[in-house]
Structure 1
């Protein structure tokens, strides 16, 4: 039987599962957002759908794993590869569980189960990555960092690192990891006694000693990361961050300097950029071009909810903007606070039940803030207590997000026209919807 006829039969096999999933997705969008259920429907009807669709990609599948920075780095890598002429499939920010990824693939698939892409770049939740790799084998795995995060879910940081390293070993071609992370930089040890002829190549990204020394609270594990970095394995970094300011960074890629414009402020975004460039370089090989990469960064918009500037109209009908500063844990909150150029003129700060235990806020240095106008979310009073101990002036504590946004809307227009909302992931999604941005899927 000819290859064309075989493809046709396979396509017919997927016709009903794909149409059923797309119908469910259309209904979900009518309700005001994305959903993982369409992917569940399709994969139940066609268990091999994901493997067959992603198996069409010429450069395979890239997994992006890490405690922080997955969405941003996925976005950066996607845009750099597109800047080199590749057609890239990627999952919307936050859709990093298997069913959510399936729904994302379904959205781009034809009714015959084909996706027009050269490569897939997927943000994957570390807890489900190894299981997902059995269905969708990665060609490349990028591992960003390990931090104290979601201990109610993972219990120990080292356990999370082992999850990511186990998944990294499923890579068919390339592993890219953080030289400065004492957990992740030891990946090469896992191949010492194995068959090196079948092992993927291992590549590192990192930061220069000068950059690390200037970081006020370390790189990733907040205050203690600078000390931990000394314990990391010593390796040459293919991509190394050598200089950064609030808007850009200089990264050497295999000895050649690449100046990039960052899509959002902060040292952590510069490290993410180094990770993206290292990964692009190993995927593209001789096709990698520093100028094309720099151009991609210059045109890049912030990833969904990470430094986004969204239009906002105050009570008087005057146009303003909201800058979303999103955090997940102590490390990301501290690094985002460190990145503020000056105390924001108007600030909303919020954490909800998506972060069950927020006792770590007592380790945070809030010196970057001189006041907070509104504190909201289910954990509002816990935050207020912490800021009171810091001596930071608080305007209003209003746990109800809608009422809190109304209070922010009633404030006079700041001189910069910019309101800063420092929020965790769940609050970010809800707040975007409440100010009129109903689509949860990031359009890239």
Structure 2
């Protein structure tokens, strides 16, 4: 390292030490200082990674996909420099390298694995030594910050054009916007398309305005929040032969002939862990349980369970729990076993998190691993060791109950969380937390595009709903218009009180489902952290 790099590294480490001593995350501030003192630090630090750097970007699934890739890389014997806290701006990237370099200026990693905010992709691609770029999907999200999707796509395309020859580019073939990046990649980069293998005949299709479809296994129709319905080339409506969720599926334009590229990595089929174990329903035990220490890679199936913690309620706030014989004691959604066709041959793998969107995340991680030259057996073992990232399908034990945290931030993602909840049996206990801080997006009108009406169709399975956060009353109004009776809804803007009440009203051995936006999720985890239920997010 140059003297300037070394001095800025020491300054960053001093700030990181202070943040951790003060029990603050320190995931961005050290890097912010380093970038101010030495704008060339990231370029210098990243160039020392022998295997280069892999960038993961997109609207939904960045953190989970990156965590899956992390587990595969570790299984392959590599030492990744990874921004595990999700700090995905240039300050967070700089902090990652501050943490992974020794005081003597020696790298303790051999590959960078960096989740990157979509708007930051051009600068990241210019400063990093890029080995691969993974793009998950593009949905309308934080319109006050990103604007419309064509602007977000242009930012990623600009970054892609700055990557060197030979870079692998893994993109979602089922997303028309993301798949269009193939043209920008040209012939000097290695394209890897991933998606679902089509099962429909050529003459079958969904008409352009038929965007309501039955959701697998729940008997309820989900209104898809499709952001792209018209051809990017000629403007005519796409014909979708299959829709997996939102605008992701098998599409073509019958006017100009534009269509989905054939996936290089294709999902053939999937089944729940219960189906794979030959059980009639529910989650599997032993192989299975999704309750683990938050966000890590484990070496054995099942991992370790977070130790039960003391109640999050203060003694004066305790509410007597319902009778233990109440029928609402249910398990969380289980993971899946997937069968994937790859250029290296067939792959069967297990992922511990539920939801169709996590199948896509797994395909993205498999594609990245193949792009890096990792063999299928290592990929399978890496995915087996994956556990949910903090706040993303994370399950925490609170006494004899469980809290299931699922981050929500836009209509497409929220609809998939609703679908996942409805696929589980038993009654539901819900806390919906909506903030409108900068990191959440100031505009919460997107709540009206979420299909809460589908959730209302199962209102007889919902014991209670508590809305909380800065925009708790907006959330309550949306639920009222979705068809929920007001007697079912309680509103409390204070997250600690809302979480406390939710846990108290959840029966023993039951599950409380908490669906927060980003900053609300961090607040909820901080409450759980104070009760010693979870580790600080920067340590998971």
TM-score (norm 2): 0.73
Matched residue of 1:68: which SS?
Answer: coil
- Measured in 2, the distance between the counterparts of 1:236 and 1:227 equals 12
Matched, 1:187 2:181: yes
- Measured in 2, the distance between the counterparts of 1:223 and 1:184 equals 15
Q: Which residue of 2 aligns with 1:122?
A: 114
* Post-superposition CA distance 1:1-43 (Å, at most 9, x none): xxxxxxxxx3654433222211111111233222312112223
Matched, 1:349 2:375: no
Q: Which residue of 1 aligns with 2:281?
A: none
Q: Is the 8 A contact 2:349 2:380 kept in 1?
A: yes
1:289 Cα deviation (Å)?
2.2
- Measured in 2, the distance between the counterparts of 1:438 and 1:83 equals 24
1:218 Cα deviation (Å)?
5.7
Match of 1:237 among 263, 280, 285: 263
Q: Which residue of 2 aligns with 1:25?
A: 16
Distance 1:32 1:352, change over 3 A: same
Distance 1:149 1:210, change over 3 A: farther
Matched, 1:278 2:362: no
Matched, 1:203 2:192: yes
Match of 2:417 among 327, 336, 348: 336
Q: Which residue of 2 aligns with 1:155?
A: 147
Counting matched residue pairs gives 420
Distance 1:148 1:27, change over 3 A: same
Distance 1:379 1:152, change over 3 A: same
Matched residue of 1:420: which SS?
Answer: strand
Q: Which residue of 1 aligns with 2:502?
A: 408
- Measured in 1, the distance between the counterparts of 2:249 and 2:172 equals 15
Q: Name which of structure 1's ranges 420-429 and 394-403 shifts more when overlaid on structure 2.
A: 394-403
1:400 Cα deviation (Å)?
1.2
- Measured in 2, the distance between the counterparts of 1:217 and 1:391 equals 15
Q: Which residue of 2 aligns with 1:293?
A: 379
Q: Name which of structure 1's ranges 108-117 and 142-151 shifts more when overlaid on structure 2.
A: 108-117
Q: Which residue of 2 aligns with 1:440?
A: 537
Q: Name which of structure 1's ranges 426-435 and 200-209 shifts more when overlaid on structure 2.
A: 200-209
Report the RMSD for the aligned CA atoms in angstroms.
2.5
Matched, 1:322 2:400: no
Matched residue of 1:419: which SS?
Answer: strand
1:45 Cα deviation (Å)?
2.9
Distance 1:299 1:344, change over 3 A: farther
Q: Name which of structure 1's ranges 354-363 and 141-150 shifts more when overlaid on structure 2.
A: 354-363
Distance 1:220 1:138, change over 3 A: farther
TM-score (norm 1): 0.87
Q: Name whichever structure is richer in helix by fraction.
A: 1
Match of 1:34 among 25, 29, 46: 25
- Measured in 2, the distance between the counterparts of 1:210 and 1:327 equals 30
- Measured in 2, the distance between the counterparts of 1:218 and 1:77 equals 29
1:392 Cα deviation (Å)?
2.6
Q: Which residue of 2 aligns with 1:142?
A: 134
